[in-house]
Amino acid sequence: MSDVTTTDLYEVTMALSYLREDMHAPATFSLFVRDLPPGRGFLVAAGLESALDHLAGYRVEREDVEEFAAALRRPVHDLLPLRGLCFEGEVRAVPEGRVVCAGEPLLEVTAPLPQAQLVETYLLNQLCHQTSVASKAARCVLAAAGRQVVDFSLRRTHGPWAGFQAARLGALVGFAGTSNVAAATALGIPASGTMAHSYIEAFPNEEAAFRAFALSHPGPVTFLVDTYDTEEGVRTAARVLTGLRRGPGCAVRLDSGDLDALARRARALLDTAGLNDVRIVASGGLDEYAVDRLVRAGAPIDVYAVGTRVGVAADAPYLDAAYKLVEYAGRPVMKLSSAKVTAPGRKQVFRRPGRPDVIALADEEPPDAARPLLRTVMRGGRRTGPPDRLQDARERFREDVAALPETARRIDSPEPVAPVRSRALEHLTTVVRSGIDARLRRPAAAPPSSALSARTP
């Protein structure tokens, strides 16, 4: 199955109708999030790179036409006008890692109408999922307050590709590593892991398990200490590490129970054994809320391993996002549906130090000391430069999140920063709305007399 057919059926039916009506004029679609999910003070833009990969390779082949025809239960010949269609448009987008607000375009596509329409579903899929997960992961980094966070989500994500993306997005916002071997090797990020309870259970006792594991791995090791009795597990781990003269870089992992109390007891036992350099790793259903509570309580935990809740963005697994037509054939357009009104025209977002972002028209001059967020990343269906580097996205995130007010960064009950609209955008919105209202009030034209005669019995 081609990625071309990874789309909603109505994209195909609309594109086919556009082709029949010879509607090839340039169309601009804007992709944005209407409202932030509850519990979010900001979003982290993500998913652009995979979206651009899709657009750069987009081409409707014969096999795609056959699949479209089968889905529509129509002859292949009817769908042949779609064959050979490529994406030849322009994309302006917010780079990955940028902090964004509700209402701000993450991406705008300008292309011949059938092309711009056909790619809608895939673009929404990539940007919505990845922005949602990146935003959840970013909050974990904030909650950890300088302590390391690692990704353990692969086994619970919605498929291996989603697991790969979760590992990448964690690295983008500052995670120290991932348990996902494929992602670690492909992305050049540290792989991180310990052992499972089954490993301990397979040996006669914990000491035999720990010793065997340490002898198999010459570098730093992490022992899972809560298979049976956590305190006894820590004592056993300390005894093995001391006996093998291993310490710096090694760790014990707590995976269940009262992590605050257990971490304090584990720290005391390790320090008493002279293993001050042995770290404590905590895991087991953690997300930013649990991490924040542990950090605020002063739990002596050095590394937080987050998995399921972060990999699937459990408390906000989707975004109220839209991909809406804002201009066609040079004519600005807008939607007036209740609670889903859109703003017309191609846009730009200007970021001002210490002040709200400005959503403006694309051809406006920036306000003083403001910088545009959307940049041209594709022209004529080709990237305007090499793929973005993960480290550059990570630096953008650090810069943007540091500039957010504390109220937007806090974990509990954050207050989102709302952007404002420029006067020019507000004026265009009023003009377009007035034009639509006038057309709606205009009485329908009477059919020609010849048509009336033809219907008279």
Nearest one of 264, 260, 268 to 284, comparing CA atoms: 260
Burial of 382 (0-12, 13-18, 19+ CB in 10 A): exposed
Cβ contact 58:86 at 8 Å: yes
Residue 241 has pLDDT above 50, yes or no: yes
**pTM (2 decimals)?**
0.93
Alpha-carbon distance of 321 to 127, in angstroms, equals: 9
Alpha-carbon distance of 341 to 303, in angstroms, equals: 45
Domains annotated on the chain, with CATH = 3-132+316-440 (3.20.140.10), 144-311 (3.20.20.70)
Alpha-carbon distance of 43 to 41, in angstroms, equals: 7
Question: How high is the mean pLDDT of the chain?
Answer: 94
pLDDT score of 338: 74
pLDDT score of 453: 41
pLDDT score of 444: 59
Cα–chain center distance at 149? 18
What's the rounded mean pLDDT across residues 350-361?
95
pLDDT score of 244: 93
Alpha-carbon distance of 118 to 7, in angstroms, equals: 8
**What is the tens place of the pLDDT at every residue in 424-437?**
999 999 999 999 88
